[in-house]
Amino acid sequence: MTNKIDRRKFLLAGSALGLTSGITENIKAKSTTVITGNIKPVVVSSYNGYTMKNGGKLNCVETAFKKITQGEDVLDALIAGVNIVELDPLDASVGYGGRPNAEGIVQLDSCCMHGPKKQAGGVGALEGVKTPSLVAKAVMESTDHHLITGKGAQNFAQNMGFKIEDDLNTEESRKMWLNWKRRIDPNHYLDPKKRSTAGHNAALEMIKEGLIPENEYYGTINCNGINSNGDLCGVTTTSGLAWKMPGRIGDSPILGAGLYVDGNHGAAGSTGRGEANLFGLCSYLVVEELRRGKHPKDAGMTALKRIKENTIELRLLNKRNLPNFNVNFYIIDKLGRYAGVAMYTKASNEDKNYAICTENGSKLVPVEPLLSGNAN
């Protein structure tokens, strides 16, 4: 005998299902297992993923989100997004026009990770290529290595068909480097401690005078994304610490530090003081916390607390005996939940916010700070 379904009962049943779906989502939110095809795509990045457009209509996170929702590979979409920032001469912390090292040469770092493929690639101290993220992807796809640096990275890039520029400085980046250079001993033959102090103090003076934003002293963009199938990827790219020692490589191209992606659990990337992040491989720590079921915000806070615990040198502490620098993490888990956390929310808008893009468009969202006040 065939049962007839009453339309009113069917609608009521549908309403009940809608109510229970919220409960189901809460259950899912506590689990690291999720059915594919049921995720809301999202892209998160540092603030410059929202502010920089390189003369175009779309910013980094909008570009990446559009490509993801059109069915493109998540990593390809994210790299297309950060390429906008790398090529924009107005962003002085990434790619073309990035802050040069102490000798006036722009050296770039980048790495990328593909969650579903379990693959990664990176480059460090790369000279002459405006888009190091694409070279990092080539390392991932065309070699058996995870990281190539210096002249070897440039040779590899040239062999792969990338154009090698003579100089990645813009007029503005060179002007600021010369300003910095004139403030310290021009011969650079100081006692190592005095030299380091002189260079750092000169940079702080320029920040206080408003010549450069504080966030551009450290630089970097991290961008992570997930599609409706739960495919997670990430990319980080930077010109590194402003006026760094030649050959210095920070956290950005190092797997587990500037970026870590586990396709089964989540993605995390960082900006801020690279050496502090490197010491604890904190992006890896964040993802391990996601593996244990932590919410992205809580996972990020664990990493920030670890950095705080590891910061004991007096030169790295402020008057409150707390870290005198900032570190930020941008995080997405397998469920599509996301967060942006920071050691502090400083005075500038850039430090207070991170970028997201969802089906509702892109916007800047306040980061969650571990500590009150600022780093001073």
| Strand positions, DSSP E, the chain | 42-46, 108-114, 119-126, 147-149, 221-226, 232-238, 259-262, 266-272, 327-333, 338-342, 353-358, 361-366, 368-369
**Model confidence pTM above 0.85:** no
What DSSP string describes 171-190?
HHHHHHHHHHHHHS-TT--S
**Lowest mean pLDDT, pick from 119-128, 134-143, 257-266, 338-347:** 338-347
Residue 35 included in any domain: no
Active site residue 32: no
326 lies in some domain: yes
Tell me if 116 is assigned to some domain.
yes
Structure-token pair, residue 4: 């007839």
Domain membership of residue 9 (yes or no) is no
The count of structural domains within the chain is: 1
Report DSSP state, residue 50. H
> Is residue 90, in this structure, part of any structural domain at all?
yes
Position 179 scores a pLDDT of 85
Mean pLDDT of the chain: 86
Cα–Cα distance, 58 to 65 (Å, whole number): 10
Range of the domain at 98: 42-369
On whether residue 37 sits in a domain, the answer given is no
Say if CB 373 and CB 344 are below 8 A apart.
Answer: yes
Distance, CA of 98 to CA of 82 (rounded, Å): 14
Tokens representing 204 are 């702080």
pLDDT at 21 over 60: no
* Residue 262 to residues 146, 224, 289, 304, Cα–Cα distance (Å): 15, 12, 11, 20
Catalytic residue among 51, 63, 131, 220: 220
Give me the mean pLDDT over the 220-232 stretch.
97
5 falls within a domain? no
Tell whether 23 is covered by a domain.
Answer: no
pLDDT higher than 80, residue 233? yes
CATH number of domain containing 160: 3.60.20.30
pLDDT greater than 60 at residue 36: no
Tens digits of per-residue pLDDT, 174-224?
Answer: 988 888 887 775 544 344 555 556 666 676 676 666 666 665 555 689 999
> What is the four-CA torsion angle of 58, 62, 67, 69, rounded to 10 degrees?
-140
